[in-house]
Amino acid sequence: MNFSSDTSAPAHPLIMEAVAAANRGMAASYGADAWCEAARAAIAAVFETDVEVWLTASGTAANALALSVICPPTGAVLCHEQAHVERDERGAPEFFTGGAKLQLLSGAHGKIDPAALAGRLASDRPGSVHQVPAAALSLSNLTESGAAYSPAEMRVLTDAAKAGGLLVHLDGARFANAVAGTGASPAELTWKSGVDVLSFGATKNGALGVEAIILFGEARQRIGELRERAKRGGHMPPKMRYLGAQLTAYLADGLWLDLAAHANATAAKLAEVLVSEGAAQLAAPVDGNEIFAVLPAETLRRLQQAGALFAPWEGGVHRFVASWATRAEDVDALRACLGARRD
Ligand SMILES: *Cc1c(COP(=O)(O)O)cnc(C)c1O
């Protein structure tokens, strides 16, 4: 019963096989190999548009590098107060942008409240040398509370951002779960909804370790700067073929969406058991593979005694995560552990 995190899950066998298959003979380095080329083509096909792509080994690197090409050192990145870029990246976005300021907005379940964004944008004074002007908006889908933005919800925020001249970044560490959860297409959840740059996660959903920075539309012109910044920041691994091989296998035959659909369906079952057998109260909608719940003391005690792994969150909430590798038996074990309450 390990529901601690999708980062605790192993890599999917098909991805391991692809890495092993790429491990034959000589190949071009620094992203000029056939596997990275195949990954770029697969991404363009999945997102139904021309893209530029850079691969990194962590989501923090992807977010920080992505923001560094859309926000100058003298600008601000507007993000949710719970955003990973704010809470969990040890200042990497500020470091990689050369000092851009993160400015925090509120809203339920990790989604930015459109009124909060409008209020912040209205306070910008073009021409004032003193203020930090908003230059970028960063959204997360899934959000940090496990909720999913629909394309329409994103559009409200990105339209306001575009009207203010901002570029839009999407932190998609769990993008696959958002696609599987909303039923919207990858295109609808990104460039068709105003996203210029996507951090496309794969690690949490079955890769060994790869995330893609994807530039859409006019932002594609920033690929040269992105490469330079990646190199300067130490994110140009020489044997990039192994990153390309992972991503190619991840996207082949819809594997990524199958894995996310399994994770989401398992999370839905898990949530149902926690609520029905454990009298838990959900603190946020379960739109993807994460559950945030308030647990009665007895439920907490039983789960801890049974050795179930899950994470304490803020405000007395606990987080449970299902991954591609979470088994039906894990959910059954949880049900058995909590069902015993009534005996
Ligand atoms: C996990 C996660 C990341 C990436 O984290 P790394 O540990 O650096 O790979 C980014 N954003 C969100 C919302 C995440 O949950």
Q: What angle in degrees, to the nearest 10, is found between the helix axes of 297-305 and 328-339?
A: 120
Residue of 4, 79, 171 to mutate, ligand 1, most atoms within 8 A of C-beta = 171
Query: How far is CA 161 from its chain centroid?
Result: 20
**Is the CB of residue 148 below 6 angstroms from any atom belonging to ligand 1?**
no
The rounded distance, in Å, linking the Cα atoms of 203 and 250 is 10
**Is the CB of residue 323 below 6 angstroms from any atom belonging to ligand 1?**
no
The rounded distance, in Å, linking the Cα atoms of 123 and 115 is 12
The rounded distance, in Å, linking the Cα atoms of 110 and 22 is 39
Question: What separation in Å is there between the alpha carbon of 289 and the centre of ligand 1?
Answer: 14
Question: What separation in Å is there between the alpha carbon of 79 and the centre of ligand 1?
Answer: 15
Domains annotated for the chain, with CATH where assigned, are 12-254 (3.40.640.10), 255-342 (3.90.1150.10)
Per-residue tens of pLDDT for the chain, all 343 residues: 999 999 999 999 999 999 999 999 999 999 999 999 999 999 999 999 999 999 999 999 999 999 999 999 999 999 999 999 999 999 999 999 999 999 999 999 999 999 999 999 999 998 899 999 999 999 999 999 999 999 999 999 999 999 999 999 999 999 999 999 999 999 999 999 999 999 999 999 999 999 999 999 999 999 999 999 999 999 999 999 999 999 999 999 999 999 999 999 999 999 999 999 999 999 999 999 999 999 999 999 999 999 999 999 998 999 999 999 999 999 999 999 998 645 4
Question: What separation in Å is there between the alpha carbon of 127 and the centre of ligand 1?
Answer: 35
Q: Which atom of ligand 1 lies closest to the CA of 83?
A: 13
Strands 311-312 and 317-321: antiparallel
Q: Which atom of ligand 1 lies closest to the CA of 7?
A: 1
The rounded distance, in Å, linking the Cα atoms of 162 and 195 is 10
Whether 323 contacts 9, CB under 8 Å: yes
